[in-house]
Structure 1
Amino acid sequence: MPELPDVEGFRRVLADCAQGRMIERVEVRDAGVLHGVSARRLGSELEGRKFTEPERHGKWLLAHTGGPTLLLHFGMTGRLVCAAADDEPHPHDRVLFTLVDRRQLRYRDQRKLKGLWLADDPQAAKLLDDQGPDAQTVSRADFDAALTGRRGRLKAALTDQSLVAGLGNLLADEILWQSRLHPSRPTGSLTDDERATLYRTMRSVLRTSVRAECVPPRDNWLTGHRDDPGPAPCPRCGTRLRSSRIAGRTTLWCPNCQPESAS
Protein backbone atom coordinates (compact mmCIF):
# COMPACT_ATOMS: atom_id res chain seq x y z
CA MET A 1 0.00 0.00 0.00
CA PRO A 2 1.48 3.39 -0.94
CA GLU A 3 2.48 5.37 2.13
CA LEU A 4 4.07 8.80 2.53
CA PRO A 5 7.44 7.87 0.90
CA ASP A 6 5.73 6.25 -2.10
CA VAL A 7 3.46 9.26 -2.63
CA GLU A 8 6.47 11.57 -2.38
CA GLY A 9 7.93 9.48 -5.21
CA PHE A 10 4.72 9.99 -7.22
CA ARG A 11 5.01 13.73 -6.57
CA ARG A 12 8.45 13.64 -8.18
CA VAL A 13 7.06 11.70 -11.14
CA LEU A 14 4.37 14.34 -11.62
CA ALA A 15 6.88 17.19 -11.32
CA ASP A 16 9.41 15.62 -13.69
CA CYS A 17 6.87 14.45 -16.25
CA ALA A 18 4.25 17.18 -16.30
CA GLN A 19 5.14 20.35 -14.40
CA GLY A 20 4.93 23.38 -16.70
CA ARG A 21 3.38 21.37 -19.52
CA MET A 22 -0.07 21.94 -20.97
CA ILE A 23 -2.68 19.19 -20.76
CA GLU A 24 -3.89 18.53 -24.32
CA ARG A 25 -6.27 15.68 -23.56
CA VAL A 26 -7.74 13.82 -20.61
CA GLU A 27 -8.79 10.25 -21.36
CA VAL A 28 -10.77 8.45 -18.69
CA ARG A 29 -10.55 4.75 -19.41
CA ASP A 30 -12.34 3.76 -16.20
CA ALA A 31 -14.67 6.24 -14.49
CA GLY A 32 -14.69 4.02 -11.42
CA VAL A 33 -11.70 5.94 -10.06
CA LEU A 34 -13.45 9.33 -10.32
CA HIS A 35 -15.16 10.76 -7.23
CA GLY A 36 -17.57 13.68 -7.37
CA VAL A 37 -16.64 14.53 -10.95
CA SER A 38 -17.65 13.07 -14.33
CA ALA A 39 -15.21 12.15 -17.06
CA ARG A 40 -16.63 14.95 -19.22
CA ARG A 41 -16.18 17.57 -16.52
CA LEU A 42 -12.68 16.37 -15.63
CA GLY A 43 -11.63 16.91 -19.23
CA SER A 44 -13.34 20.28 -19.62
CA GLU A 45 -11.81 21.59 -16.37
CA LEU A 46 -8.25 20.44 -17.06
CA GLU A 47 -7.67 20.43 -20.82
CA GLY A 48 -5.78 23.54 -21.90
CA ARG A 49 -4.33 24.12 -18.43
CA LYS A 50 -0.76 23.52 -17.27
CA PHE A 51 0.32 21.43 -14.35
CA THR A 52 2.15 23.64 -11.85
CA GLU A 53 4.29 22.58 -8.89
CA PRO A 54 2.62 19.65 -7.12
CA GLU A 55 2.27 19.17 -3.38
CA ARG A 56 1.91 16.19 -1.11
CA HIS A 57 0.11 16.00 2.22
CA GLY A 58 0.26 12.66 3.96
CA LYS A 59 -0.87 10.07 1.41
CA TRP A 60 -2.57 12.69 -0.79
CA LEU A 61 -1.05 14.23 -3.92
CA LEU A 62 -2.25 17.66 -5.02
CA ALA A 63 -1.77 18.35 -8.73
CA HIS A 64 -2.21 22.09 -9.14
CA THR A 65 -3.05 23.64 -12.50
CA GLY A 66 -3.44 27.36 -11.78
CA GLY A 67 -7.16 26.63 -11.68
CA PRO A 68 -8.77 23.47 -10.29
CA THR A 69 -6.52 21.23 -8.24
CA LEU A 70 -6.63 17.51 -8.90
CA LEU A 71 -6.41 15.40 -5.74
CA LEU A 72 -5.04 11.88 -6.06
CA HIS A 73 -5.10 9.08 -3.50
CA PHE A 74 -3.51 5.77 -4.38
CA GLY A 75 -5.34 3.35 -2.10
CA MET A 76 -3.54 0.00 -2.00
CA THR A 77 -2.32 -0.41 -5.59
CA GLY A 78 -2.32 3.02 -7.24
CA ARG A 79 0.67 4.77 -8.78
CA LEU A 80 1.64 7.46 -11.28
CA VAL A 81 3.58 6.57 -14.42
CA CYS A 82 5.20 8.79 -17.05
CA ALA A 83 5.01 7.31 -20.56
CA ALA A 84 5.09 8.30 -24.20
CA ALA A 85 1.66 9.05 -25.62
CA ASP A 86 2.00 6.32 -28.25
CA ASP A 87 2.98 3.62 -25.73
CA GLU A 88 0.34 0.93 -25.38
CA PRO A 89 -1.71 1.56 -22.21
CA HIS A 90 -1.36 -0.88 -19.36
CA PRO A 91 -4.58 -2.79 -18.53
CA HIS A 92 -4.74 -0.95 -15.19
CA ASP A 93 -4.19 2.56 -16.60
CA ARG A 94 -7.40 4.29 -15.54
CA VAL A 95 -6.85 7.98 -16.48
CA LEU A 96 -4.37 9.30 -19.08
CA PHE A 97 -3.23 12.93 -19.25
CA THR A 98 -1.65 13.63 -22.64
CA LEU A 99 0.70 16.62 -22.50
CA VAL A 100 1.72 19.06 -25.18
CA ASP A 101 5.06 17.34 -25.89
CA ARG A 102 3.39 13.93 -26.28
CA ARG A 103 4.31 12.79 -22.84
CA GLN A 104 1.57 11.06 -20.96
CA LEU A 105 0.95 11.00 -17.22
CA ARG A 106 -0.99 7.89 -16.23
CA TYR A 107 -2.94 7.07 -13.10
CA ARG A 108 -2.57 3.29 -12.81
CA ASP A 109 -4.47 1.28 -10.22
CA GLN A 110 -5.40 -2.38 -10.12
CA ARG A 111 -7.88 -2.45 -7.24
CA LYS A 112 -9.42 1.04 -7.62
CA LEU A 113 -9.95 1.60 -3.88
CA LYS A 114 -9.37 5.36 -4.09
CA GLY A 115 -8.80 7.59 -7.11
CA LEU A 116 -9.19 11.21 -8.25
CA TRP A 117 -11.15 14.23 -6.98
CA LEU A 118 -11.29 17.91 -8.00
CA ALA A 119 -10.53 20.26 -5.14
CA ASP A 120 -13.43 22.60 -5.88
CA ASP A 121 -15.79 19.77 -5.02
CA PRO A 122 -17.03 20.07 -1.38
CA GLN A 123 -16.37 16.39 -0.75
CA ALA A 124 -12.73 16.78 -1.80
CA ALA A 125 -12.18 19.80 0.43
CA LYS A 126 -13.49 17.85 3.41
CA LEU A 127 -11.07 15.00 2.71
CA LEU A 128 -8.12 17.29 3.37
CA ASP A 129 -9.82 19.08 6.27
CA ASP A 130 -9.91 15.73 8.06
CA GLN A 131 -6.14 15.25 7.73
CA GLY A 132 -3.74 15.85 10.59
CA PRO A 133 -0.32 17.48 10.14
CA ASP A 134 1.99 15.80 7.65
CA ALA A 135 4.26 13.25 9.32
CA GLN A 136 7.35 14.50 7.47
CA THR A 137 6.97 18.11 8.60
CA VAL A 138 5.00 17.93 11.87
CA SER A 139 6.66 19.77 14.73
CA ARG A 140 7.55 18.03 17.97
CA ALA A 141 4.98 20.16 19.80
CA ASP A 142 2.18 19.24 17.39
CA PHE A 143 3.21 15.57 17.47
CA ASP A 144 3.05 15.57 21.26
CA ALA A 145 -0.32 17.31 21.16
CA ALA A 146 -1.68 14.66 18.80
CA LEU A 147 -0.66 11.78 21.07
CA THR A 148 -0.91 13.17 24.60
CA GLY A 149 -4.01 11.94 26.38
CA ARG A 150 -5.12 9.75 23.48
CA ARG A 151 -7.00 6.57 24.28
CA GLY A 152 -6.43 3.35 22.40
CA ARG A 153 -3.36 1.54 21.15
CA LEU A 154 -0.23 3.22 19.92
CA LYS A 155 -0.26 1.71 16.45
CA ALA A 156 -3.84 2.81 15.92
CA ALA A 157 -2.84 6.36 16.83
CA LEU A 158 0.12 6.41 14.46
CA THR A 159 -1.96 5.19 11.53
CA ASP A 160 -4.89 7.54 12.27
CA GLN A 161 -4.64 10.06 9.42
CA SER A 162 -6.59 12.65 11.39
CA LEU A 163 -3.80 12.73 13.99
CA VAL A 164 -0.68 12.50 11.82
CA ALA A 165 -1.02 12.11 8.04
CA GLY A 166 1.08 9.75 5.96
CA LEU A 167 1.95 6.78 8.16
CA GLY A 168 0.65 3.38 7.11
CA ASN A 169 1.19 -0.20 8.22
CA LEU A 170 4.83 -0.63 7.19
CA LEU A 171 5.98 2.73 8.52
CA ALA A 172 4.16 2.34 11.83
CA ASP A 173 5.64 -1.11 12.48
CA GLU A 174 9.14 0.04 11.51
CA ILE A 175 8.99 3.19 13.64
CA LEU A 176 7.69 1.29 16.67
CA TRP A 177 10.31 -1.46 16.30
CA GLN A 178 13.14 1.05 16.01
CA SER A 179 11.70 2.93 19.00
CA ARG A 180 11.40 -0.29 21.05
CA LEU A 181 7.72 0.39 21.73
CA HIS A 182 5.02 -2.27 21.59
CA PRO A 183 2.26 -1.55 19.06
CA SER A 184 -0.42 -2.38 21.66
CA ARG A 185 0.87 0.05 24.29
CA PRO A 186 -1.84 2.47 25.40
CA THR A 187 -0.99 5.73 23.67
CA GLY A 188 -1.62 7.74 26.82
CA SER A 189 0.94 5.68 28.77
CA LEU A 190 3.94 7.07 26.89
CA THR A 191 6.36 9.16 28.89
CA ASP A 192 7.81 12.41 27.59
CA ASP A 193 11.07 10.61 26.83
CA GLU A 194 9.26 7.86 24.93
CA ARG A 195 7.35 10.40 22.84
CA ALA A 196 10.63 12.16 22.11
CA THR A 197 12.21 8.88 20.99
CA LEU A 198 9.17 8.05 18.87
CA TYR A 199 9.30 11.46 17.18
CA ARG A 200 13.05 11.28 16.45
CA THR A 201 12.71 7.76 15.10
CA MET A 202 9.76 8.72 12.89
CA ARG A 203 11.77 11.56 11.37
CA SER A 204 14.79 9.30 10.79
CA VAL A 205 12.75 6.47 9.21
CA LEU A 206 10.95 8.96 6.98
CA ARG A 207 14.19 10.59 5.79
CA THR A 208 15.57 7.23 4.68
CA SER A 209 12.27 6.06 3.21
CA VAL A 210 11.59 9.26 1.27
CA ARG A 211 15.01 8.96 -0.36
CA ALA A 212 14.14 5.39 -1.36
CA GLU A 213 10.54 6.34 -2.35
CA CYS A 214 9.33 3.37 -0.27
CA VAL A 215 9.89 1.79 3.13
CA PRO A 216 13.11 -0.01 2.18
CA PRO A 217 13.40 -3.74 2.96
CA ARG A 218 16.80 -3.42 4.62
CA ASP A 219 18.26 -6.47 6.32
CA ASN A 220 18.75 -4.47 9.54
CA TRP A 221 15.19 -3.13 9.46
CA LEU A 222 12.03 -4.92 10.53
CA THR A 223 10.61 -4.26 7.05
CA GLY A 224 13.33 -6.41 5.53
CA HIS A 225 11.91 -9.48 7.27
CA ARG A 226 8.15 -9.13 6.84
CA ASP A 227 8.06 -11.66 4.01
CA ASP A 228 10.54 -14.15 5.45
CA PRO A 229 9.18 -17.72 5.46
CA GLY A 230 8.16 -18.86 8.93
CA PRO A 231 8.79 -16.88 12.13
CA ALA A 232 11.70 -14.61 11.25
CA PRO A 233 14.37 -13.63 13.80
CA CYS A 234 14.49 -10.06 14.99
CA PRO A 235 17.33 -8.34 13.07
CA ARG A 236 18.42 -6.65 16.32
CA CYS A 237 18.32 -9.38 18.98
CA GLY A 238 17.51 -12.64 17.15
CA THR A 239 14.28 -13.32 19.06
CA ARG A 240 11.52 -14.78 16.88
CA LEU A 241 9.25 -12.02 15.67
CA ARG A 242 5.54 -12.19 16.38
CA SER A 243 2.65 -11.25 14.16
CA SER A 244 -1.00 -10.56 14.88
CA ARG A 245 -3.75 -8.16 13.89
CA ILE A 246 -3.56 -4.86 15.75
CA ALA A 247 -5.61 -1.84 14.73
CA GLY A 248 -7.07 -3.99 11.96
CA ARG A 249 -3.68 -4.54 10.33
CA THR A 250 -1.18 -7.39 10.23
CA THR A 251 1.40 -6.21 12.74
CA LEU A 252 4.95 -7.44 13.27
CA TRP A 253 6.97 -6.85 16.42
CA CYS A 254 9.72 -8.31 18.61
CA PRO A 255 8.54 -9.54 22.03
CA ASN A 256 12.01 -8.98 23.50
CA CYS A 257 12.80 -5.53 22.07
CA GLN A 258 9.22 -4.27 22.38
CA PRO A 259 7.78 -5.34 25.74
CA GLU A 260 4.04 -4.90 25.99
CA SER A 261 4.09 -3.11 29.32
CA ALA A 262 6.03 0.05 30.06
CA SER A 263 9.36 -0.52 31.76
Structure 2
Amino acid sequence: MPELPDVEGFRRVLAAHTGEPIERVTVRDAGVLRGVGARRLDAALRGRRFGAPRRHGKRLLAPVGGPVLMLHFGMTGSLTWHPADEPRHRHDRVVWRLPGGELRYRDMRKLQGVRLLKDEAQAEDVLGALGPDASEVSRGELAALLAGRRARLKSVLLDQSAIAGLGNLLADEICWRARVRPLRAARELDDAEGAALHRAMRRVLRDSIEAGRVPPRGTWLTGVRDEPGAACPRCGTALARGRASGRTTVWCPHCQP
Protein backbone atom coordinates (compact mmCIF):
# COMPACT_ATOMS: atom_id res chain seq x y z
CA MET A 1 0.00 0.00 0.00
CA PRO A 2 1.51 3.37 -0.95
CA GLU A 3 2.52 5.36 2.11
CA LEU A 4 4.35 8.66 2.46
CA PRO A 5 7.71 7.38 1.08
CA ASP A 6 6.05 5.84 -1.97
CA VAL A 7 4.15 9.04 -2.74
CA GLU A 8 7.35 11.03 -2.34
CA GLY A 9 8.81 8.73 -4.99
CA PHE A 10 5.85 9.44 -7.26
CA ARG A 11 6.41 13.16 -6.68
CA ARG A 12 9.98 12.78 -7.93
CA VAL A 13 8.71 11.02 -11.05
CA LEU A 14 6.34 13.90 -11.76
CA ALA A 15 8.91 16.55 -10.82
CA ALA A 16 11.20 15.24 -13.56
CA HIS A 17 8.63 16.51 -16.07
CA THR A 18 7.92 19.92 -14.60
CA GLY A 19 7.32 22.43 -17.38
CA GLU A 20 6.53 19.86 -20.05
CA PRO A 21 3.31 20.35 -22.03
CA ILE A 22 0.47 17.87 -21.75
CA GLU A 23 -0.36 16.74 -25.27
CA ARG A 24 -3.43 14.78 -24.26
CA VAL A 25 -5.04 12.88 -21.41
CA THR A 26 -6.35 9.38 -22.03
CA VAL A 27 -8.76 8.03 -19.45
CA ARG A 28 -8.84 4.27 -19.81
CA ASP A 29 -11.08 3.73 -16.79
CA ALA A 30 -13.25 6.58 -15.50
CA GLY A 31 -13.76 4.61 -12.28
CA VAL A 32 -10.71 6.38 -10.81
CA LEU A 33 -11.96 9.89 -11.57
CA ARG A 34 -13.41 11.85 -8.66
CA GLY A 35 -15.62 14.85 -9.41
CA VAL A 36 -14.52 15.22 -13.03
CA GLY A 37 -15.35 13.44 -16.26
CA ALA A 38 -12.90 12.09 -18.81
CA ARG A 39 -13.66 14.72 -21.45
CA ARG A 40 -13.41 17.63 -19.03
CA LEU A 41 -10.15 16.33 -17.60
CA ASP A 42 -8.61 16.17 -21.07
CA ALA A 43 -10.00 19.56 -22.10
CA ALA A 44 -8.82 21.21 -18.89
CA LEU A 45 -5.28 19.84 -19.07
CA ARG A 46 -4.45 19.54 -22.76
CA GLY A 47 -1.82 22.12 -23.74
CA ARG A 48 -1.07 23.10 -20.15
CA ARG A 49 2.25 22.47 -18.43
CA PHE A 50 2.90 20.69 -15.18
CA GLY A 51 4.12 23.00 -12.44
CA ALA A 52 6.35 21.84 -9.60
CA PRO A 53 4.49 19.07 -7.72
CA ARG A 54 4.22 18.84 -3.97
CA ARG A 55 3.16 16.16 -1.54
CA HIS A 56 1.15 16.31 1.66
CA GLY A 57 0.85 13.00 3.45
CA LYS A 58 -0.33 10.50 0.85
CA ARG A 59 -1.66 13.16 -1.55
CA LEU A 60 0.27 14.34 -4.59
CA LEU A 61 -0.62 17.75 -6.05
CA ALA A 62 0.55 19.34 -9.29
CA PRO A 63 -0.48 22.81 -10.48
CA VAL A 64 -1.31 22.95 -14.16
CA GLY A 65 -1.56 26.65 -14.91
CA GLY A 66 -4.46 27.45 -12.60
CA PRO A 67 -6.18 24.15 -11.85
CA VAL A 68 -4.49 21.67 -9.53
CA LEU A 69 -4.29 17.96 -10.24
CA MET A 70 -4.58 15.84 -7.07
CA LEU A 71 -3.66 12.16 -7.03
CA HIS A 72 -4.53 9.81 -4.18
CA PHE A 73 -3.15 6.29 -4.54
CA GLY A 74 -5.31 4.29 -2.17
CA MET A 75 -4.19 0.69 -1.59
CA THR A 76 -2.62 -0.14 -4.96
CA GLY A 77 -2.00 3.08 -6.93
CA SER A 78 1.23 4.30 -8.52
CA LEU A 79 2.55 6.92 -10.95
CA THR A 80 5.26 5.85 -13.36
CA TRP A 81 7.00 7.12 -16.50
CA HIS A 82 7.11 5.06 -19.71
CA PRO A 83 8.16 5.40 -23.34
CA ALA A 84 5.11 6.09 -25.48
CA ASP A 85 5.55 2.85 -27.42
CA GLU A 86 5.72 0.65 -24.31
CA PRO A 87 2.56 -1.49 -24.04
CA ARG A 88 0.21 -0.27 -21.35
CA HIS A 89 -0.63 -2.37 -18.33
CA ARG A 90 -4.24 -3.45 -17.94
CA HIS A 91 -4.43 -1.46 -14.70
CA ASP A 92 -3.16 1.80 -16.24
CA ARG A 93 -6.25 3.95 -15.65
CA VAL A 94 -5.19 7.48 -16.68
CA VAL A 95 -2.37 8.40 -19.07
CA TRP A 96 -0.83 11.85 -19.57
CA ARG A 97 0.97 12.03 -22.91
CA LEU A 98 4.02 14.33 -22.88
CA PRO A 99 6.52 15.00 -25.69
CA GLY A 100 8.96 12.30 -24.55
CA GLY A 101 6.62 9.61 -23.25
CA GLU A 102 3.75 9.01 -20.84
CA LEU A 103 2.94 9.37 -17.17
CA ARG A 104 0.65 6.53 -16.16
CA TYR A 105 -1.59 6.33 -13.10
CA ARG A 106 -1.94 2.64 -12.37
CA ASP A 107 -4.35 1.24 -9.80
CA MET A 108 -5.74 -2.25 -9.49
CA ARG A 109 -8.36 -1.71 -6.79
CA LYS A 110 -9.49 1.85 -7.66
CA LEU A 111 -10.23 2.82 -4.06
CA GLN A 112 -9.09 6.43 -4.52
CA GLY A 113 -8.13 8.28 -7.68
CA VAL A 114 -7.67 11.50 -9.63
CA ARG A 115 -9.25 14.86 -8.85
CA LEU A 116 -9.09 18.17 -10.68
CA LEU A 117 -9.35 21.13 -8.31
CA LYS A 118 -10.13 24.56 -9.68
CA ASP A 119 -7.23 26.36 -7.97
CA GLU A 120 -4.76 26.38 -5.09
CA ALA A 121 -7.40 27.73 -2.71
CA GLN A 122 -9.55 24.65 -3.24
CA ALA A 123 -6.49 22.45 -2.84
CA GLU A 124 -5.77 24.04 0.53
CA ASP A 125 -9.38 23.46 1.58
CA VAL A 126 -9.03 19.76 0.78
CA LEU A 127 -5.72 19.50 2.62
CA GLY A 128 -7.23 21.35 5.57
CA ALA A 129 -9.02 18.15 6.56
CA LEU A 130 -5.66 16.44 7.02
CA GLY A 131 -3.20 16.65 9.86
CA PRO A 132 0.37 17.90 9.44
CA ASP A 133 2.66 15.94 7.16
CA ALA A 134 4.36 13.22 9.18
CA SER A 135 7.81 14.20 7.91
CA GLU A 136 7.37 17.71 9.32
CA VAL A 137 5.80 16.99 12.72
CA SER A 138 7.88 18.37 15.59
CA ARG A 139 8.37 16.60 18.89
CA GLY A 140 6.05 19.08 20.59
CA GLU A 141 3.36 18.68 17.95
CA LEU A 142 3.48 14.91 18.28
CA ALA A 143 3.18 15.14 22.05
CA ALA A 144 0.16 17.42 21.70
CA LEU A 145 -1.45 15.05 19.20
CA LEU A 146 -1.10 12.09 21.56
CA ALA A 147 -2.07 13.85 24.78
CA GLY A 148 -5.55 13.00 25.96
CA ARG A 149 -6.21 10.50 23.16
CA ARG A 150 -8.12 7.49 24.43
CA ALA A 151 -7.57 5.64 21.15
CA ARG A 152 -4.78 3.14 20.70
CA LEU A 153 -1.46 4.61 19.65
CA LYS A 154 -1.49 2.93 16.26
CA SER A 155 -5.02 4.14 15.55
CA VAL A 156 -3.88 7.72 16.16
CA LEU A 157 -0.83 7.26 13.92
CA LEU A 158 -3.07 5.92 11.14
CA ASP A 159 -5.62 8.74 11.50
CA GLN A 160 -4.89 11.02 8.54
CA SER A 161 -6.73 13.89 10.22
CA ALA A 162 -4.17 13.67 13.05
CA ILE A 163 -0.95 12.94 11.12
CA ALA A 164 -0.89 12.69 7.33
CA GLY A 165 1.16 10.08 5.55
CA LEU A 166 1.58 7.09 7.85
CA GLY A 167 0.16 3.72 6.88
CA ASN A 168 0.13 0.25 8.36
CA LEU A 169 3.78 -0.65 7.74
CA LEU A 170 5.20 2.68 8.85
CA ALA A 171 3.12 2.78 12.02
CA ASP A 172 4.25 -0.69 13.13
CA GLU A 173 7.87 0.00 12.20
CA ILE A 174 7.93 3.29 14.14
CA CYS A 175 6.39 1.72 17.24
CA TRP A 176 8.82 -1.21 17.09
CA ARG A 177 11.83 1.09 16.81
CA ALA A 178 10.55 3.23 19.68
CA ARG A 179 9.94 0.07 21.77
CA VAL A 180 6.32 1.08 22.39
CA ARG A 181 3.44 -1.35 21.99
CA PRO A 182 1.09 -0.08 19.26
CA LEU A 183 -2.05 -1.22 21.08
CA ARG A 184 -1.49 1.00 24.11
CA ALA A 185 -3.65 4.05 24.62
CA ALA A 186 -1.89 7.03 23.06
CA ARG A 187 -2.36 9.15 26.17
CA GLU A 188 -0.46 6.60 28.30
CA LEU A 189 2.91 7.41 26.74
CA ASP A 190 5.22 9.34 29.04
CA ASP A 191 7.62 12.06 27.88
CA ALA A 192 10.51 9.65 27.29
CA GLU A 193 8.35 7.32 25.21
CA GLY A 194 6.95 10.23 23.22
CA ALA A 195 10.47 11.45 22.48
CA ALA A 196 11.52 7.94 21.41
CA LEU A 197 8.48 7.69 19.15
CA HIS A 198 9.35 11.01 17.49
CA ARG A 199 12.99 9.98 16.95
CA ALA A 200 11.87 6.68 15.47
CA MET A 201 9.41 8.40 13.16
CA ARG A 202 12.06 10.80 11.86
CA ARG A 203 14.58 8.03 11.30
CA VAL A 204 12.16 5.60 9.65
CA LEU A 205 10.75 8.28 7.35
CA ARG A 206 14.20 9.52 6.40
CA ASP A 207 15.40 6.05 5.40
CA SER A 208 12.12 5.14 3.72
CA ILE A 209 12.00 8.33 1.67
CA GLU A 210 15.55 7.69 0.52
CA ALA A 211 14.53 4.18 -0.57
CA GLY A 212 11.25 5.35 -2.12
CA ARG A 213 9.31 2.80 -0.07
CA VAL A 214 9.21 1.19 3.37
CA PRO A 215 12.27 -1.01 2.79
CA PRO A 216 11.87 -4.75 3.47
CA ARG A 217 15.26 -5.05 5.16
CA GLY A 218 16.03 -7.98 7.39
CA THR A 219 16.96 -5.61 10.22
CA TRP A 220 13.54 -3.95 10.04
CA LEU A 221 10.25 -5.27 11.37
CA THR A 222 8.91 -4.66 7.86
CA GLY A 223 11.41 -7.10 6.41
CA VAL A 224 10.32 -10.09 8.51
CA ARG A 225 6.74 -9.45 9.60
CA ASP A 226 5.14 -11.62 6.91
CA GLU A 227 7.47 -14.58 7.27
CA PRO A 228 6.07 -17.82 8.75
CA GLY A 229 6.96 -17.90 12.44
CA ALA A 230 8.44 -14.41 12.20
CA ALA A 231 10.79 -13.38 14.99
CA CYS A 232 11.90 -9.95 16.17
CA PRO A 233 15.03 -8.85 14.26
CA ARG A 234 16.32 -7.26 17.45
CA CYS A 235 15.88 -9.93 20.13
CA GLY A 236 14.61 -13.06 18.36
CA THR A 237 11.29 -13.25 20.25
CA ALA A 238 8.34 -14.57 18.25
CA LEU A 239 6.31 -11.62 16.96
CA ALA A 240 2.76 -11.07 18.19
CA ARG A 241 -0.20 -10.11 16.00
CA GLY A 242 -3.42 -8.26 16.67
CA ARG A 243 -5.77 -5.71 15.10
CA ALA A 244 -5.91 -1.93 15.32
CA SER A 245 -8.31 0.17 13.24
CA GLY A 246 -9.07 -2.96 11.25
CA ARG A 247 -5.42 -3.43 10.28
CA THR A 248 -3.10 -6.32 11.06
CA THR A 249 -0.71 -5.11 13.72
CA VAL A 250 2.64 -6.71 14.52
CA TRP A 251 4.89 -6.12 17.54
CA CYS A 252 7.50 -7.78 19.74
CA PRO A 253 6.17 -8.81 23.16
CA HIS A 254 9.65 -8.51 24.66
CA CYS A 255 10.86 -5.24 23.11
CA GLN A 256 7.46 -3.54 23.27
CA PRO A 257 6.07 -4.40 26.72
TM-score by length of 1: 0.94
- Cα distance in 1 for partners of 2:71, 2:65 equals 17
Unmatched 5+ stretches in structure 2: none
Give the secondary structure class of the aligned counterpart of 1:136: helix
Q: Which residue of the partner structure matches residue 4 of structure 1?
A: 4
- Distance in 2 separating the partners of 1:77 and 1:124: 23
**SS of aligned partner of 1:171:** helix
Alignment partner, residue 234 of structure 1: 232
| C-alpha contact (below 8 Å) 1:184/1:246 kept by paired residues | yes
AA at the equivalent of 1:4: L
Q: Using the alignment, how far apart are the partners of 1:244 and 1:194 within structure 2?
A: 21
CA-atom RMSD, angstroms? 1.5
Shift of 1:127: 3.7
Alignment partners' CA distance in 1, 2:117 and 2:202: 29
3-state secondary structure, aligned to 1:70 = strand
What are the within-5 Å matches in structure 2 for residues 207-222 of structure 1? Answer: 207-222=206-221
Q: Which residue of 1 aligns with 2:247?
A: 249
Contact 2:66 2:118 in 1 (8 A): no
SS in 2 for 1:96: strand
Match of 2:81 in 1: 82
Which residue of structure 1 aligns with residue 55 of structure 2? 56
CA contact 1:36–1:123 (8 Å) conserved in 2: no
Match of 2:184 in 1: 185
- Whether the 8 Å CA contact 1:70–1:118 is kept in 2: the answer is yes
Amino acid at match of 1:85: A
Question: Using the alignment, how far apart are the partners of 1:85 and 1:220 within structure 2?
Answer: 39
* Structure 1: stretches of 5+ with no match in the other structure: none
Aligned to 1:106: 104
> What SS does the corresponding residue of 1:243 show, helix, strand or coil?
strand
Equivalenced residue count is 256
- Contact 2:68 2:123 (C-alpha < 8 Å) held by counterparts: no
How far did 1:233 drift? 1.3
Give the share of equivalent positions with the same residue, in percent: 61
Q: Which residue of 2 aligns with 1:176?
A: 175
SS of 2:34 mapped into structure 1:
coil
Other structure's SS at 1:151 match: coil
Specify the code of the residue in structure 1 equivalent to 2:105.
Answer: Y
SS at match of 1:97: strand
Aligned residue in 1 for 2:143: 144
Helix, strand or coil: the match of 1:257?
Answer: coil
Partners of 1:40 and 1:8 lie apart in 2 by 29
Task: Map residues 201-212 of structure 1 onto 2, 5 A cutoff.
Answer: 201-212=200-211
- The TM-score normalised by the length of structure 2 is 0.96
Q: CA deviation at 1:257?
A: 0.7
